Amino acid sequence: MDSLAAAPGTGPATSPLPLIRPVRAPRRFADLPAGRTLVMGILNVTPDSFSDGGQFGQADQAIQAGLKMHYDGADIIDVGGESTRPDSVRVTAEEEQQRILPVVEALVKAGVLVSVDTMNASTAEKAIAAGAALINDVSGLDVDPAMPALIARTGVPYVLMHSRGAVRSSDPHAEYDSVVDDVITELTKIRELFYAAGAGADQIILDPGLGFSKDGSSNWDLLRNIDRLNGLGHRVLVGASRKRFLGSLLASSGKAAAPLERDGATAAVTALAAFSNVWCVRVHNVGPSVDAVKTAAAWKD
């Protein structure tokens, strides 16, 4: 089987990584297919993420997992090095970079379109230099005010997710007059900071931030009204995968379903999101959501 080997004359690779297919040229964001909902695979290079923490803690493991998701049909692989589960501990930007940059570089080399899940502009900048084509920031721009200038300068697309308060707190500010109206108002207000820095409207991707500072009913309200987010003139990303409100939906005998038991509900959300013309869904288990997108597309056609 092929492996990522060192170039001739540079000596043997330190850790050969078997590939399913030969290495291909890196893809660009502009190469993404149009006309259907995209699937973004979640790759957490962390010891403490809520669903898969520690599963891909080593670079080699993470690269293999990212390649598998790629060949399972993921259009984008979203690499993150810092958990945002409730009450998790922040890591330094330096540690975050040590975790993710080798993974980003290897996946890009293998022809994977890579997104980086980070709240730090310094990490985003180094990831872009390593070949990342998209920045996914779950902070609601509450962590690093340098992000708008970086996005404007690099021209890289940016996922602007809605959140209130510390992203690790459990529903810190979940009271809304109208969750849909309030999320739209707050996202458009933050969007202006990127415009002021010189970023283009086509760089901004909106994410309603399901599960971040929202209770279960708020998440469902946002999904029911996803067409209003679509109407703002930006691409929309939905990240419902394995989240607590799906666990509550599937509860048995008063006990929420465990994260790994939520993939069926996640795929159902993907199908409905695809039917509603959402630009992209972000999921842990790629295969079922790829099938759900195909099914929704066939139904619409």
Residue of 297, 278, 118 whose CA lies nearest to 208: 278
Q: How far apart are CA 85 and CA 66, in angstroms?
A: 21
Which parts of 198-285 fold into alpha helices (H)? 216-224, 226-230, 244-249, 263-275
User: Which of the following is catalytic: 126, 164, 243, 262?
Assistant: 243
End-to-end Cα spacing for the chain? 39
Q: How far apart are CA 213 and CA 237, in angstroms?
A: 17
Q: How far apart are CA 74 and CA 39, in angstroms?
A: 5
Helices 121-129/93-109 angle, 10° precision: 20
What Cα–Cα distance (Å) separates residue 95 from each residue in 56, 89, 98, 99?
Answer: 15, 12, 5, 6
Q: Clarify whether 164 is annotated catalytic.
A: no
Element (H, E) at 114: strand 114-117
Q: For tokens 């820095």, what's the residue?
A: 197
Q: How far apart are CA 85 and CA 144, in angstroms?
A: 19
Element (H, E) at 44: strand 38-44
Q: How far apart are CA 55 and CA 45, in angstroms?
A: 8
Q: Clarify whether 243 is annotated catalytic.
A: yes
User: Which of the following is catalytic: 126, 191, 214, 282?
Assistant: 282
Which residues neighbour 69 within 8 Å (Cβ) at sequence distance 6 or greater? 41, 43, 77, 286
| Residue 136 main-chain phi, psi, to 5 deg | -115, 110
Which tokens is 60 given? 């080699």
Which residues are catalytically annotated? 243, 282
